[in-house]
Amino acid sequence: MKRFFTLLFLLLIIQESFAQKERIEVDNNEETVFTKDNFKFTGSYIALEFKMSEVRDDIGIFAGGKMGFSFNNKFSLGIAAYGLIYNSDFTVLAPDMWSDLTLQLASIKFIYGGLLLEYNFFSNKIVHFNIPVVIGVGKVSLKGEDDIFLERIEKSSAFVIEPGVELEFNLFKFLKVDVGASYRNVSNTRLQYIDDEDLEGLSYNLTFRFGLF
């Protein structure tokens, strides 16, 4: 599944590159792919987004947002950030504040974000679809439930790539609603009690996008 999303996004980028190449403008004998005629600013937006996903074989709920700038009503460039707001606790055998191994009820804290790229198909239609991808970094930590164990049991950084697909509805001139799915790829974590596979997975997403379109 994650290979499908990644391959789909790369194919779209290649397609757009060839389309732009066909519209090259010659100015003083210098050829450029992007010109003032074929690369126009067409809007901006901010969005609130919720994701339901699998985290460590259990339901995880993420909340976050994104903001971006649109060009040619086809391509958007921006930033996005998300945080895990719900996931079930689980038991780990970890050192306590006295360095003794004890069973502790632990919770995962996970935030990530970075560069957002989006390709928009038929954005002027009432119903259309988008191909977004987030490329960035994250921070994950494991914390004990009891006040005695408030210090982090362990923590790590992570590298995240999340391609997806969205079905978007133009409700008003200033509001669009998206429903879609994405696959969160997580790598380079260095944790003892959870690993990359516990943090990555398919997400089902709901987005409220406000802006000038």
User: How confident is the model at residue 18, as a pLDDT?
Assistant: 47
Phi-psi label, residue 189: left if phi above 0, alpha if psi -120 to 50, beta otherwise: beta
For the domain covering 2-15+41-212, report its CATH number: 2.40.160.20
As given in the structure block, the two tokens for residue 39 are 């690369």
**How confident is the model over 146-170, as a mean pLDDT?**
84
- Let me know how long the chain is: 213
**How confident is the model over 156-164, as a mean pLDDT?**
97
Q: pLDDT category, 53, cuts 50, 70, 90?
A: very high
Would the pLDDT of 14 be above 60? no
Q: pLDDT category, 24, cuts 50, 70, 90?
A: very low
Domain ranges of the chain: 2-15+41-212
Handedness of CA 153, 157, 163, 168 (dihedral sign): positive
pTM: 0.81
What's the helix, strand, coil split of the chain in %, to 5? 15, 65, 25
**How confident is the model over 28-50, as a mean pLDDT?**
78
Distance between CA atoms of 25 and 31, rounded to whole angstroms?
6
Tens of pLDDT, residue by residue over 93-137, are: 776 666 667 787 888 999 999 999 999 999 889 999 999 999 999
Distance between CA atoms of 143 and 125, rounded to whole angstroms?
46
**How confident is the model over 46-54, as a mean pLDDT?**
97
Distance between CA atoms of 180 and 178, rounded to whole angstroms?
6
User: How confident is the model at residue 90, as a pLDDT?
Assistant: 84
Distance between CA atoms of 7 and 198, rounded to whole angstroms?
23
Q: pLDDT category, 86, cuts 50, 70, 90?
A: very high
Residue pair 107/142 in contact (Cβ under 8 Å)? The answer is yes
**How confident is the model over 66-72, as a mean pLDDT?**
95
Residue 50: closest CA among 155, 166, 197, 186: 166
Q: pLDDT category, 70, cuts 50, 70, 90?
A: very high
